[in-house]
Chains A and B, each alone.
Chain A
């Protein structure tokens, strides 16, 4: 199917970027002033001990060889060894990625559930009550930082009115969901502001189109016009915006996980920074970037799938 072929072609085009990502991630850490061996050994540092440690970490090899090793092992899933936890990084990630992925997926769902109705109604009933309230919502939602929003939600829905748990992740699907509910809302709200704005603008443009008049004149109901024609076309532009802003969503999870104490890879990143656990930071930087690239690719494919006019180019 042409979408699959297009995806493969895009991946090939992306290879330079992926390559670049690995380069950046690798060299990022090589830029650290000072000697990493000194960091590891801390107060136990002596030149004698340093030698073997350096060798065991492969730090005595020329830089390019180090990079090549890094690349090779990364491709096979080996992402280094954590200084702090004394475990393979991939193991650490494996333990925690579930929570982060669940959070991202749930946030995406909430975002869609929030943005689509708001965007549609405010675009179709311009100047109406929904539109005006939405504009206020957009303004505030954008200026409020996610961690503050998270704290406020915590305050209201977990402390004052204990509906949701205050922190952590819980066990089992139901508990996971209840723990992730507030964090997902926290992420969904700022993300929605961008999407609502985009969808509303898209809807307003579409309402002016000739084909909407044609559709109306068929005598079909307002709902059918709204969904089959207006929304179906409006969503195409929004998908692109969604993809572009996904990087921000991912960044947001890092913060939100901290607020709600969710044991995901976001907290792992932040903790590792404080712990000076460079291999973990490096691996996570790489991982996040690859994830963003992958999701962008996915949104591109969906975009082409939704708009048959683009398929002509993809063939």
Chain B
């Protein structure tokens, strides 16, 4: 599997901070922002008792400074493995990976090849993560204030008292009310939303440039979801961080991201600017996803769903479109096609993994904001 047009992606060093975020991300402006994290043909293999599983199979993505990149897909699509690999984390000790993850701005060419000690230097100060399950992601026997302070202390040389002040300030920024009173609380005394805010505070304690949010609102109820997302966006904007937001909820992605990558069965099947993706998707899977959302359907109609079953990752063949079995536009040739990401149009920042994309007219979603 090859990446589309490797030569066409030049990284421009000129700063175009004044340009619209969308233009900057897709390169329609004079220059494009520098790449913060580059994933290059990443293939992660996990040996299981039975055989080999490849949750991520040839993913290439650039995350640029200041952008919000969404990654959307079903469970098992490989989005979690991919985004964690960006931090240098792989599922188990026995996992192997080919391809690379690099931090061009930091001069790190091979994140996955770093030793744990070297990796640690980047955690907290450059890259950080907001995990999926706030209820289990904090140490149950330490106080909230101490846990945030631990993150602060790891990355600064401030004396204790000033560390405390910084903790309180962080808590305020993430929207925890009355922080001074909450310092001595334990995780089990906090609600899910508050815990997630704490985790955001911890992630931001070292002033990272790059943040991965792995389904940050999935475990929370809808009202809190909105609040947390708003907080996250505000913080991203004010700090100018690159944010990778992973979700299976297209609604969340649509609200927040500049660009979206759609993953299926371990591969990236479409990558585009959010508005364009929603208005005119180029991949049948993306289109099907959009149509299957409850909000896409008028109240009196049946919900649409994608026929067939989610793919099993074991024993995936190298050749052939993986969505073909469930695709209503599939042809014979689709299952023989050595899939690759193709450029869409002349914009060069849009890619899709479908051999028929140029001829298909797919339904987009217009009622999504």
In-complex A–B contact (CB below 8 Å): yes
Residues of B contacting A215 in the complex (Cβ-Cβ under 8 angstroms): 139, 150
A86 interface contact, C-beta 8 A: no
Residues in A195-219 with C-beta less than 8 Å from chain B: 209-211, 213-219
Q: Closest B residue to A232 by CB, please name it.
A: B141
Residues of A contacting B121 in the complex (Cβ-Cβ under 8 angstroms): 219
Residues of B contacting A221 in the complex (Cβ-Cβ under 8 angstroms): 120
State whether B123 touches A217 (Cβ < 8 A): yes
C-alpha gap A220/B151 in the complex (Å): 8
C-alpha gap A206/B92 in the complex (Å): 15
A229 interface contact, C-beta 8 A: yes
- B64-102 interface bits toward A, Cβ cutoff 8 Å, 1 = contact, 0 = none: 000000000000000000000001010000000000000
State whether B137 touches A210 (Cβ < 8 A): yes
Interface stretch (choices B47-55, B125-133, B252-260, B311-319): B125-133
Q: Chain A nearest CB: distance from B209 CB in Å?
A: 14
The one of B89, B141, B155 in contact with A219, judged by C-beta atoms closer than 8 angstroms, is B155
Taking A213-B131, A214-B131, A309-B186 as contacts, is the C-beta distance between A219 and B154 under 8 angstroms? yes
State whether A210 touches B141 (Cβ < 8 A): no
- Which interface class (under 10, 10 to 19, 20 to 34, 35 or more) fits B? 20 to 34
A222 interface contact, C-beta 8 A: yes
Residues of B contacting A217 in the complex (Cβ-Cβ under 8 angstroms): 87, 123-124, 128-129, 203
Taking A216-B123, A217-B128, A232-B141 as contacts, is the C-beta distance between A309 and B188 under 8 angstroms? yes
C-alpha gap A214/B132 in the complex (Å): 11
C-alpha gap A210/B130 in the complex (Å): 11
State whether B150 touches A218 (Cβ < 8 A): yes
C-alpha gap A218/B89 in the complex (Å): 13
State whether B140 touches A211 (Cβ < 8 A): yes
Q: Closest A residue to B125 by CB, please name it.
A: A219
- B324-346 interface bits toward A, Cβ cutoff 8 Å, 1 = contact, 0 = none: 00000000000000000000000
Q: Closest B residue to A309 by CB, please name it.
A: B188
B352 interface contact, C-beta 8 A: no
A94 interface contact, C-beta 8 A: no
A307 interface contact, C-beta 8 A: yes
B7 interface contact, C-beta 8 A: no
State whether B137 touches A211 (Cβ < 8 A): yes
Q: Chain A nearest CB: distance from B190 CB in Å?
A: 12
The one of A216, A222, A233 in contact with B141, judged by C-beta atoms closer than 8 angstroms, is A233
State whether B131 touches A219 (Cβ < 8 A): no
Taking A308-B186, A308-B188 as contacts, is the C-beta distance between A218 and B124 under 8 angstroms? yes
State whether B136 touches A220 (Cβ < 8 A): no
C-alpha gap A224/B188 in the complex (Å): 23
B116 interface contact, C-beta 8 A: yes
B205 interface contact, C-beta 8 A: yes
Taking A229-B139, A309-B140 as contacts, is the C-beta distance between A210 and B133 under 8 angstroms? yes
C-alpha gap A39/B95 in the complex (Å): 75
Taking A218-B202, A308-B141 as contacts, is the C-beta distance between A210 and B154 under 8 angstroms? no
Residues of B contacting A211 in the complex (Cβ-Cβ under 8 angstroms): 136-140
Q: Chain B nearest CB: distance from A296 CB in Å?
A: 22
B261 interface contact, C-beta 8 A: no
B206 interface contact, C-beta 8 A: yes
A236 interface contact, C-beta 8 A: yes
**Chain A interface mostly:** helix
Among A217, A222, A224, A236, the most chain B Cβ lie within 10 Å of the Cβ of A217
Residues of A contacting B206 in the complex (Cβ-Cβ under 8 angstroms): 218-219
State whether A219 touches B124 (Cβ < 8 A): yes
Residues of A contacting B123 in the complex (Cβ-Cβ under 8 angstroms): 216-219
Q: Chain A nearest CB: distance from B244 CB in Å?
A: 14
B199 interface contact, C-beta 8 A: yes
A261 interface contact, C-beta 8 A: no
State whether A210 touches B131 (Cβ < 8 A): yes
Residues of A contacting B87 in the complex (Cβ-Cβ under 8 angstroms): 217
- A228-239 interface bits toward B, Cβ cutoff 8 Å, 1 = contact, 0 = none: 110011001000
Q: Chain A nearest CB: distance from B221 CB in Å?
A: 20
State whether A306 touches B120 (Cβ < 8 A): no
Q: Chain A nearest CB: distance from B327 CB in Å?
A: 36
Residues in B135-176 with C-beta less than 8 Å from chain A: 136-142, 150-151, 154-155
Q: Chain A nearest CB: distance from B289 CB in Å?
A: 28
C-alpha gap A145/B281 in the complex (Å): 74
A136 interface contact, C-beta 8 A: no
Taking A217-B87, A219-B120, A219-B154 as contacts, is the C-beta distance between A210 and B140 under 8 angstroms? no
Taking A219-B125, A219-B206 as contacts, is the C-beta distance between A214 and B137 under 8 angstroms? yes
State whether B205 touches A218 (Cβ < 8 A): yes
State whether B89 touches A213 (Cβ < 8 A): yes
Residues of A contacting B137 in the complex (Cβ-Cβ under 8 angstroms): 210-211, 213-214
Q: Chain B nearest CB: distance from A259 CB in Å?
A: 40
Q: Closest B residue to A206 by CB, please name it.
A: B139
Residues of A contacting B129 in the complex (Cβ-Cβ under 8 angstroms): 217
A161 interface contact, C-beta 8 A: no
Q: Chain A nearest CB: distance from B152 CB in Å?
A: 9
Q: Closest A residue to B137 by CB, please name it.
A: A210
Q: Closest B residue to A308 by CB, please name it.
A: B186
Residues of B contacting A224 in the complex (Cβ-Cβ under 8 angstroms): 150
26 contacts between A and B (CB under 8 A): A211-B137, A211-B139, A211-B140, A213-B89, A213-B137, A214-B137, A214-B138, A214-B139, A215-B139, A216-B123, A217-B87, A217-B128, A217-B129, A218-B124, A218-B202, A219-B123, A219-B151, A219-B154, A220-B120, A224-B150, A228-B150, A232-B141, A232-B142, A233-B139, A233-B141, A309-B188
* 7 more A-B residue pairs beyond the given contacts A210-B131, A211-B136, A307-B141, with a C-beta to C-beta distance below 8 A: A218-B123, A218-B202, A220-B150, A233-B139, A236-B141, A307-B140, A309-B186
